[in-house]
Structure 1
Amino acid sequence: MSPLLDHNLQRIETIVGENSDLVIRRFLIFGEYHGAIVYFSSMVDEHSIFTDILKPLMSPPLHLIGRTIPDQELLDIIWNEVLHLSKSKRISCIDEMLDTGIQGSTLLMLDGFAESIVLDTRQVQMRGIEQPQTEQTIRGAREGFIEVLESNISLLRSRLQTTDLRITVNPIGQKTKSKVAVCYLESVANPELIKEANRRLSKIDTDGILDAGYIEQFIEDHPYSPFPQVQNTERPDKAAASLLEGRVILLTDGSPFALIVPAVFNQFYQTLDDYTERFIIGSLIRFIRVIALLFSLFFPALYVSIISFNPELIPTDFAVAVAGGRAGVPYPSVIEVLIMEVSMEVLREATLRMPQIIGGALSIVGVLVIGSAAVSAGFVSPITVVVVALTTIGSFATPAYNAAIALRMLRFPLIIMSGIFGLYGVMIGIIFIINHLLFMDSFGVPYLSPVVPINKQGLKDTLIRAPLWWMWKRPSHLHTVDNTRLADNDKLNTEPVLNPTQEER
């Protein structure tokens, strides 16, 4: 950076080029020193620039009136005694100045100084904090992350008001310079996990990061697996709970989703309601959810294998009813199920992409009218429509959208194998899936933890949800610094204070 103001401004105009929102405002500091501010009007709070920068610089404060200011001390006096903005720094590199200016800072340059002051005046229009759209809950907070990183950090800090919370922000992307925050609890999270998360982020060398999904694809361990190895959430309370377990949270500026690492399989069928409700209710709901998950994956394949190869496994009356329903269908059951499954996937995708008002009507028309017409025309049997409908409903019970997609993908090869090999094909498919899950890991943590390798403490929060006072240690597979989360593992003693049988004193 040159000490000449005109040279610096000319260089900035050359680098930035023609931009209608670039503002270069020349003015006299204290009425005698030449200076200029540079900012992008679309990214800043112009009222703050006027009240906190221009006004105090153009009209000297009372304590400076009549005071002789040496030229070489002007920048220090402005920095220490005049400016009213708390977030500011001094930079002497033009490229670094422009990087901060594009992010919403205002550059203050003085003639005769090879250094400028960068003032944070960023103001970007954003939507308000709303209820998460992808993670509905019955009993829980009604606020979710938004696209502004600072707001998301504030939502996280409001739940974890502790000095242990550490947040480091680094820019990623040669063009976008997207800010990515790494959040963790220093007294809980394993230092090696934190180091590995930072290492993977530092290896990302791309031109742009537009969403947290970009980060996920760069840092996952097995990119060719259909199963997700990084969990995402819109809920600040879920992110805070993951931090308390010893996990690391990644927040990306411009994305309303937080990434949770490491992630294991059982996280993807758990919800916040499992913990806010009493453990009996939470365990029942979770067990039903797991049954629905297995149902959506294996039910069509089992139906095809039994109808095609082993009809003797079903009762005679029911077998006769099924045979009567399929009497007019011109192709095998495996083709029939595949046609219906593909149709349901197309209908589901169309419902998601249509406007919300039309999407609900389209799903009703698709299920009722098209299904009924297909049965009447003899394309499919009524029992197949029932099987596919139950499978689709079961897939909706999986809370995580990316995990539900993985199960929907695996459903098709299972159906094809069951149509070729029968029940043997289903068993072969199950063995392949289990072996694949056993092979996977996320940031070094086995994907089926705490089931494989087995951990007694971790099993309290897998298929069922044990009482909170039973889960007095953090998940052992995370190798946390402090593995105790409940000081006393006994339930609090309760006394019948208002017992009506108690004698009056």
Structure 2
Amino acid sequence: MSIFNWFKKNKKRSTRPIPNRTSEPFQDISLDGRLDETIDAMMRLCGGNDDFSIRRFHVFGRYPAAMFYYSTMIDQTMVNGHILKPFMYVPLHLEKQDIEFRRLKEVLLQDSIFHSDVAIEIQFSKLVHSVLSGKTVVIIDGMEEAFVIGTRNIEQRAIDQPQTEQVIRGPREGFIEPIATNIALLRYRLQTTDLRINTMEIGRRTKSKVAICYMEGIANPDLLKEVKRRLSAIDIDGIMDSGYLEQFIEDNHLSPFPQVQYTERPDKVSANLLEGRVAILVDGSPLALVVPTVFSQFYQTVEDYTERFVLMSAIRLARLVALVFSLVFPSLYVAIISFNPELIPTEFAVAVAGGRAGVPFPAIIEVLVIEVAMEVLREATIRLPQQVGGALSIVGVLVIGQAAVAAGFASPITVVIIALTTIGSFATPAYNAALALRLLRFPLIIMAGIFGLYGVMIGLILIANHLLSLKSFGVPYLSPLVPGNFQGMKDLLIRGPLWWMTNRPSFLHTPNLTKLSDSTVDQLKQPPDNVMDPLKFKSYTDDSERRQE
């Protein structure tokens, strides 16, 4: 059905502006070569916008044409110099020829237009979507095909150091909002033909571009198929951020633990692609999603692999201790104070009792109130401007804590426990994993206040059982610990040397398992060649000294 016939058939309904639903009423409508009707249809859809522009002109001074674009989304210099001028002026080597209409498309594509991003389109809905995405559409009277030319130019922030994943040793580049720039950052690090980028559009109205990135020959084909299936099943008005997709593609929607890892570091995404995972990028979001995900990924950082393994193994163990602190420290304190004070050394028990002498609340109420106050303070610090937030955190920790102790509202030991717990949660690199542990502290505290140490153990058993039941795209969440894999455990509690980890993670079931060649490992086993050994050059030194004498 042509545009003219569609509007004639729906004349009453088309007297008012049509909502932006180009994929529904115009799905099967093609151009019919009538320029005036096409302009009228475009005006009905987009004419209510002050930045929508229609420029009439004559191709080579003979054939009527029109150009459509949004002035706020295009590069005006490119439109004037690379589109309008080539369409209006005959190429120099063809000035003496009579260019007939049947040759017009061929001449424009092959001789006139000097722009690399040019496509031919006949579907009216796709033309409207092209204009909405920042491209320029040129329609010529009598031609049932339109020229779609890439002219998008939207201001963007510069590539800067990631704010949420800062490192001391490692790259300083982070993803930004435009997806084309993010793909370029990946290709810069993975300069191989094995890198594959498959794109799709999600969102009936936003038409958000989503890129699925993987390594051909490394990523499992079944994993890739499942990722595409879950993404294709999403039918929603709009995708504003990659977090929307995360909530649709995760396995367990009720679990507090994240089953999809997000990051704004291109180097981190590249490393995961080389292991056999799949990355998902969304246009307009600086955060990439990585699937499948296991729990150990959330306490690992980029510096674990850029620094030497002995030092980073110690740091990782400290990070794990902080993770345990952030989960069980307050509940252990409540259980011991309320039910088992005999577990505390005598001298320390006297000090604790003296500190709690004037506190009118039981330990569970005291800890819960301080924990809630800390969560509120933390949230306020995040939402306030950076200049004010830093001052508020200092005031909250020093002034409010000291005032609470002085007023007898809380004991000094409770403030110390909550402070250590808060610091431990800050030491967890992944914000979403730290948030899950912060939320699980509260039921553990309540169970400790009711059942004591038995309640703490029951709570930990339930959490462990839940972790054992979780999966991310079929991968057990606690891999490689459960099910056990010796090769994977080299990078679990400690960070083993790079030459120990010769294979990719076995739980990803990659077609190509080998990551490090055996020749490199054999070379490292050889004793070093001390080419600059002073004893080796002693004879040369003695001869030179004799010549000087």
TM value normalised by structure 2? 0.91
Q: Which of residues 97, 106, 123 in structure 2 aligns to 1:76? A: 106
| Alignment-mate amino acid for residue 500 of structure 1 | P
- Does residue 1:137 correspond to 2:171, yes or no? no
8 A contact 1:176–1:208 mirrored in 2: yes
The answer to whether 1:107 aligns with 2:137 is yes
Aligned 8 A contact 1:5 1:112 in 2:
yes
Q: Does the residue aligned with 1:34 lie in a helix, a strand or coil?
A: strand
Letter in 1 for 2:36: D
Give 2:544's aligned residue.
none
CA contact (8 A) 1:36 1:109 kept: yes
Q: Would you say 1:165 and 2:199 are equivalent positions? A: no
CA distance in 2, matches of 1:491, 1:450: 28
1:411 paired with 2:441, answer yes
Residue identity opposite 1:260 in structure 2: V
Aligned to 1:485: 515
Aligned-pair distance for 1:491?
5.3
> In 2, distance between residues paired with 1:268 and 1:110?
56
Matched, 1:18 2:48: yes
Counterpart for residue 251 of structure 1: 281
Deviation (angstroms), 1:66: 1.5
**Residue 107 of structure 1: SS of its match in structure 2?**
strand
Distance 1:9 1:83 in 2: 23
> Shift of residue 76 of structure 1?
2.1
Cα distance, 1:85 vs. partner?
1.3
Could you tell me how far apart the structure 1 residues matched to 2:483 and 2:89 are? 70
Match of 2:246 in 1: 216
Deviation at 1:403, TM superposition (A): 0.3
The CA deviation at 1:17 is: 3.5
The alpha carbon displacement at 1:334 in A equals 0.5
Picking from 107, 116, 122, the partner of 1:86 is 116
- Which residue does the alignment assign to 2:397? 367
Whether 1:3 and 2:37 are equivalent positions in the alignment is no
Contact 1:469 1:491 in 2 (8 A): no
Structure 1 runs of 4+ off > 4 angstroms?
Answer: none
Matches within 5 A, 1:322-401: 322-401=352-431
Distance 1:388 1:222 in 2: 31
2:547 matched residue in structure 1: none
Is 1:308 paired with 2:338? yes
Aligned to 1:464: 494
**CA–CA separation in structure 2 for the residues paired with 1:286 and 1:48:** 52
SS state at 1:60 partner: coil
Counterpart secondary structure, 1:457: helix
How far did residue 58 of structure 1 move?
1.2
Asked if the contact 1:212/1:251 (under 8 Å) is kept, the reply is yes
For structure 1, list consecutive stretches of 5 or more residues without a partner in the other structure. Answer: none
- Return the alpha-carbon distance in structure 1 between the equivalents of residues 218 and 40 of structure 2: 51
Query: Which of the pair has more CA radius of gyration?
Result: 2
Of 190, 199, 212 in structure 1, the residue corresponding to residue 220 of structure 2 is 190
| Separation in structure 1 between the aligned mates of residue 497 and residue 383 of structure 2, nearest angstrom | 41
Pick from 308, 316, 321 the counterpart of residue 278 of structure 1. Answer: 308
Contact 1:470 1:490 (C-alpha < 8 Å) held by counterparts: no
Q: Distance in 2 between matches of 1:335 and 1:490?
A: 61
Does the C-alpha gap of structure 1 residues 224 and 491 become closer, same or farther in structure 2, counting only changes over 3 Å? farther
Counterpart secondary structure, 2:171: coil
1:200 to 230, 235, 239: 230
Q: Does 1:500 align with 2:534?
A: yes
Give the match's secondary structure for 1:501: helix
Map 1:282-297 to 2 at 5 A.
Answer: 282-297=312-327
Measured in 2, the distance between the counterparts of 1:240 and 1:29 equals: 47
Residue 70 of structure 2 aligns with which residue?
40
Distance in structure 2 (CA, Å) of the matches to 1:199 and 1:80: 39
Q: Which amino acid aligns with 1:498?
A: M
Match of 1:234 in 2: 264
Tell me how far apart the structure 1 counterparts of residues 502 and 46 of structure 2 sit (CA, whole Å). 57
SS state at 1:232 partner: strand
Deviations 1:303-347 (A, max 9, x none): 000000000001011001101110111111000000000000000
Task: Report the residue type matching 1:439 in the other structure.
Answer: S
For the aligned residues, what is the CA RMSD? 0.9
Contact in 2 for aligned 1:469/1:490 (Cα 8 Å):
no
Q: Which of 119, 126, 134 is the equivalent residue of 1:96?
A: 126
Aligned AA for 1:431?
I
Is the counterpart of residue 262 in structure 1 residue 259 in structure 2? no
SS of corresponding position for 1:339: helix
Structure 2 matches for 1:405-444, cutoff 5 A?
Answer: 405-444=435-474
> Any conservation in 2 of the 1:22–1:40 contact (CA below 8 Å)?
yes
Q: 5 Å matches for 1:117-156?
A: 117-156=147-186
Matched letter for residue 359 of structure 1: G
* Structure 2: unaligned runs, 5 residues or longer: 1-30, 541-549
Q: Could you report, residue by residue, the CA deviation over 1:172-223 in whole angstroms, capped at 9, with x for unpaired residues? A: 1001000000000001100011111111110010000000101111111111
Q: Distance in 2 between matches of 1:266 and 1:362?
A: 33
Question: Secondary structure of 1:375's match?
Answer: helix
CA distance in 2, matches of 1:331, 1:306: 16
Q: Distance in 2 between matches of 1:491 and 1:227?
A: 42
